Amino acid sequence: MSNLPKIAWIGLGIMGSPMSENLIKAGYSVTGFTLEQDKLDRLAAAGGTAAKSIAEAVKDADVIVTMVPASPQVEAIAYGEDGILENAKSGALIIDMSSITPQTSVDLAKAAKDKGIRVLDAPVSGGEAGAIEAVLSIMVGGEQADFDEAKPLLDALGKTIVLCGPHGSGQTVKAANQLIVAVNIQACAEAVVFLEKSGVDLTAALDVLNGGLAGSTVLTRKKDNFLKRDFKPGFRIDLHHKDMGIVTDAARNVGASLPVGAVVAQLVASLRTQGDGGLDHSALLRGVERLSGAEL
């Protein structure tokens, strides 16, 4: 245990809490900081150490893992007098597992290098269930040597872990992931409404569809959400709205056309405007139901 690097974990939300707990289970010493006291209490109950500030959390850490909602939050915790870069020791490795713009990751890596601190961008896919079960897909951008150093730690969090290229590459791949997931959820939602309005046994239909070419991880993970109309957030519409903005902006910058993605981005935005931003992204079903005249 003493041979394992000391971990600081910043951001203990729906994903961060179970992920940090998986590191504790794997034998790592984890000191965490987040804004909510109940999340800090949960970390302490799991065997971690609650810090009172970012500076306190990172000062002795060999590896600093960050998992916060978006680019502004990453910048807030990284920069400034109380931020990670001013308080982490030289030689430390930051693994940012937030889903942010590729440019934010590139900028962070440059700023950290001036402080003698290394950075990997390592966003994840798999949702809350994947975080709890430690089967996340982790797409990484950065240097090969830093990836190799981080790999044992990442193995405690995920199942598919790939270095995708230089800084920002992990975020680019995550943006593509979010595009695929959103389009897939929307297609599933449309199929659910079509099947129900046709009078078909929905459970039976989704089972047989998931056994063929229409099957997907999305359908496997979200089938019960659709059947039970249970939209407790595993991944909130608000966050997927942010991610669809990232992918559409990044695609525009490289000259890639996303005709279907653009439509789904608007449907996600519409759902958020209607007050469903705090629901799970499987709640795209609610948008299809509204368009189809269903009473919600």
- Active site residues per annotation: 174
Q: Is 132 helix (H, G, I), strand (E, B) or coil?
A: helix
Query: How far separated are the first and last CA of the chain, in Å rounded?
Result: 53
Q: Tell me how crowded residue 48 is: count the other CB atoms within 10 A of its CB.
A: 23
Question: Alpha-carbon torsion 88, 91, 94, 95, what sign?
Answer: negative
Query: H helices of 198-216, where?
Result: 202-210
Question: ∠ CA(150), CA(11), CA(49), 5° rounding?
Answer: 80
Is 139 in a helix, a strand, or coil?
A: strand
Supply φ then ψ for residue 151, to 5 degrees. -55, -45
Q: Give the separation between CA 109 and CA 295, rounded to whole angstroms.
A: 49
| DSSP β-ladder status, 7-10 and 30-33 | parallel
For 115, residues 6+ apart whose C-beta sits below 8 A from its C-beta are 85, 86, 88, 90
